[in-house]
Amino acid sequence: MILSRRGLLERLLQGLGVAAIVNRPVPVVQAAGEELARNESGPLTVRVTRPFDAETPVHEFKPFLTPNHRFFVRSHFGPPPPDAISEANWTVRVGGLVERTKTFTLKELRLMEAVTITAVVQCSGNGRAFHRPKVPGVQWERGAVGNAEWTGVRLRDLLAKAGVQAGARHVQLQGADRPVVVSVPLFTRSIPLEKALHQDTILAYEMNGRPLPLLHGAPLRVITPGWMADSCMKWLTEITVQAEESKGYYMQAAYRVPIQPVESGTTPNVPSTPVEAMVVKSLIAAPQEGETVKSGPVTIQGMAWSGEAKVVKVEVSFDEGKTWEPARLVGEDRPYAWRQWQLIWKAKTSGTFTILCRATDARGEQQPATTPWNPSGFLWNGWDRVSVTVTA
Amino acid sequence: MEWVGSRIGDGDGMRTLQKASSFVLASLKPSTYMKRTPRAIARCGLAGRPFSAFSLSVATLSAVIIMAGLAVVTAAQEEDLATVSAALAPRAEVLIIARCSVCHSPDLVAQQRLPRARWEATVEKMKHWGAEVSNDEADLLVRYLSARYHPGAPDHLPPLESEVRKAEPFTQDSVAEGPVTGVAARGAGIFEHNCQACHGTNAIGGHGPKLAKNPILKHEDLFWETVLHGRGPMPAWGSVLSHQDIADVQAWLSTR
């Protein structure tokens, strides 16, 4: 039963789905997963193969709405088995501190008043890869965000039917996704009751006018407009009204930020708070990083958004942030959506240029050069940056 | 991803790295790979306990020391790290495939660039959540991961130059094992911890094919060949499970 090292190595290489280079004097081992992580060929950039986590290449953000098949994908355990969420079996239950526990089928939800909201959904870790020192977690760069039209029912309409009791402060959300090993904590989250009762917080069954895709939480997911996606529970099956924030890893340890600045690279002893509203942010969708453009007028375009205020200004800099030129806000202007912007740049001299952008919202919050470091790398909103070459 | 204080065993990052560089190959005996089932079951008892230990003042202090240590990594030390990771790679990569890939693909591991303290905390967290690694294996992984995926390592790492010839065969002891009889009752737990992630609850299939009532169960040779040596995305288990373990899984699968 003795295996030669080479035999094992070859098998290991096969196991990794990597071409084995066997007749070199020193065989080359491709370390775990590196090939898979670099797959940029499809419409999405894959960060993790299983469970599938993938982000949208930023140049795909030119349209106002992000198409479903281009929308970033993120979950902790992957979608639940199809039978758990088939329309025939699936229900959502409202329990806890309510007058009467209620169970709804999808058909019943579809009979209730439908609302459509355009909202940015963004992973809290979007931009984690830019924090220095680096922090553990999926190394998202710029594209773990998207803007879509979500159609569904108001969460508060369900809560009203169940009757919220006095003393209720939080609403726990649980999806049907499960870890492969039972000792891994469930992805359980809660949102404060005010957010749950907000008229724009919905349970969506459609995305961009189509049935919600499986990877995006079918048949029903939460949309908390203006807030980061960790509240937007996918594959929703249980809603529990309660007095306290949810317990467990994903509410008490993960998805939190320190309430005061901390020294970079440390694990500080300061209180933390759950990640909630999005911070003001903008991205450059065109030109792309590394693109070569001809001298003359070049359209620089992108999008900007902020969690709880309107974007009022986007500016562009060509000199590392010493001076800024205002861009024009264009296109649709909807409350929780992103705002598109444009600037016609007269590129006269050839050479390499760095284009930066930053947004400001109605409260005066402005995108910083870099985001304060935090141990889990959340809420990155440093100036966006693209380098282009201008040729004569 | 999470807000957790790092747990630090060995405060001085550089000392550890240097110690590791003189380390040739993990002297793990195959026996440490075996008889893991009681431990696995014991660990199930921890299910659901939230992991949120902060060991703060020590952690903060040590993190500062480590940062200071990393700032003085010289070119020669960089080379040392490369030597360490190349030396540990054969065993560590097998563990990453067999042990760390149960819940997520290994690309999640390879994309990190972390100081040793955070690797320690991460591997500890994974153990706590159910990663089937012994203390020795965890130690080996931490040494390997912090030598290869350290904060100064480039985003695109060169492939590992592996000194494969010098390494020991993995399944040294297997020959001595002789024929074994599978015990279905034991197989359930082994399946849950090693196979279920890909082959689904009750072996009904998932990322990997359905194994319940799979014709391969009737083809001894093919079954053993696949499980011992792997095939395509299916990991090789020869270096991870004992023959008894595999026979137990096979026996259990036959009852599905």
What is the pLDDT at residue A43? Answer: 82
Backbone angles phi, psi at B132, to 5 degrees: -85, 70
Q: Which of A259, A202, A201 is nearest to A378 (CA)?
A: A259
Size of interface A-B (CB pairs under 8 A): 230
Cβ proximity of A80 and A89 under 8 Å: no
Q: Is A255 on the interface with B (CB under 8 A)?
A: yes
We find that the CATH architecture of domain B184-253 is Orthogonal Bundle (1.10)
Query: At a CB cut-off of 8 Å and minimum separation 6, what does A25 contact?
Result: none
Mutation pick from A183, A250, A257, A373 vs chain B, by most beta carbons of B within 10 Å, is A183
In this structure, which amino acid lies at residue B242? S
Whether A83-274 and A281-391 share one fold: the answer is: no
User: What single DSSP character describes residue A60?
Assistant: G
Q: How large is the ipTM?
A: 0.88
Q: What is the mean pLDDT of residues A162-175?
A: 98
In chain B, where does the domain assigned CATH 1.10.760.10 lie?
184-253
Q: Which residue has the higher pLDDT, A232 or B59?
A: A232
Highest mean pLDDT among A171-175, B44-48, B77-81, B227-231: A171-175
DSSP character for B4?
Answer: -
What are the boundaries of each domain within chain A?
Answer: 83-274, 281-391
Quote the radius of gyration of chain B (alpha carbons, Å): 20
Closest by CA to A267, choosing from B127, B117, B147, is: B117
Residue A204 has phi, psi (to 5 degrees) of -95, 135
Question: Do B111 and A256 make contact, defined as CB atoms within 8 angstroms?
Answer: no
Asked if A247's CB is within 8 angstroms of B3's CB, the reply is: no
Q: Is A321 left (phi over 0), alpha (psi -120 to 50) or beta?
A: left
Q: Does A37 lie at the interface with B, CB-CB under 8 angstroms?
A: yes
User: What fold is seen in the domain A281-391?
Assistant: Immunoglobulin-like (2.60.40)
Partners of residue A94 on adjacent β-strands: A102, A239
List CB contacts (< 8 A) between B106 and chain A.
Answer: 32-33
d(CA A141, CA A147): 17
How many degrees, rounded to 5, is the angle at CA A140 between CA A136 and CA A142?
A: 145
Instruction: Pick the closest to residue A92 from A107, A78, A79, A106 (CA basis).
Output: A106
* Distance in angstroms (rounded) separating the CA atoms of residues A120 and A30: 38
| Bond from prior residue into A287 cis (ω within 30 degrees of 0) | yes
Q: What is the pLDDT of residue A24?
A: 27
Task: Give the residue from chain A lying closest to B172, CA to CA.
Answer: A2
Chain segment B185-199, per-residue pLDDT in tens: 999 999 987 888 788
Task: Flag whether residue B236 sits within 8 Å of chain A, measured between CB atoms.
Answer: yes
Between positions 88 and 107 of B, the ones with CB within 8 A of A are 89-90, 93-94, 96-97, 100-107
Query: Residue B202 corresponds to which amino acid?
Result: N
Structure tokens, A52: 């599938």
> What mean pLDDT do residues A123-130 have?
98
A 10 A CB-CB count for A322 gives: 7
By the CB < 8 Å criterion, does B53 face chain A?
A: no
pLDDT band at B208 (very low <50, low <70, confident <90, very high): confident
Q: List the alpha helices (DSSP H) in chain B.
A: 13-21, 37-44, 56-71, 75-95, 107-110, 116-129, 135-148, 174-177, 184-194, 196-199, 220-229, 243-254
Helix (H, G, I), strand (E, B) or coil at A329: strand
Q: How confident is residue A335, by pLDDT bands cut at 50, 70 and 90?
A: very high
Q: What Cα–Cα distance (Å) separates residue A132 from each residue in A70, A127, A374, A375?
A: 29, 11, 9, 10
CATH class, range A83-274: alpha beta
pTM beyond 0.80: the answer is no
User: Which residues, other chains included, contact B4 with Cβ-Cβ below 8 Å and sequence gap of 6+?
Assistant: A253, A267, A375, B51, B52, B53, B54, B121, B125
Give me the sign of the Cα torsion angle A176, A181, A182, A184.
negative
Q: What percentage of chain A carries pLDDT values higher than 90?
A: 82
Evaluate the omega torsion of the peptide bond into residue A219 and state whether it is cis, within 30 degrees of 0. Answer: yes
β-strand partners of A119? A148, A336
Q: What is the mean pLDDT of chain B?
A: 70
For chain A, what is the mean pLDDT?
89
The burial of A309, by beta-carbon neighbours within 10 Å (0-12 exposed, 13-18 middle, 19 or more buried), is given as: middle
Cα B122 to Cα B127: distance, rounded to the nearest angstrom: 9
Q: Do B129 and A183 touch (CB under 8 A)?
A: yes
Contacts of B130 in chain A (CB under 8 A): 181-184
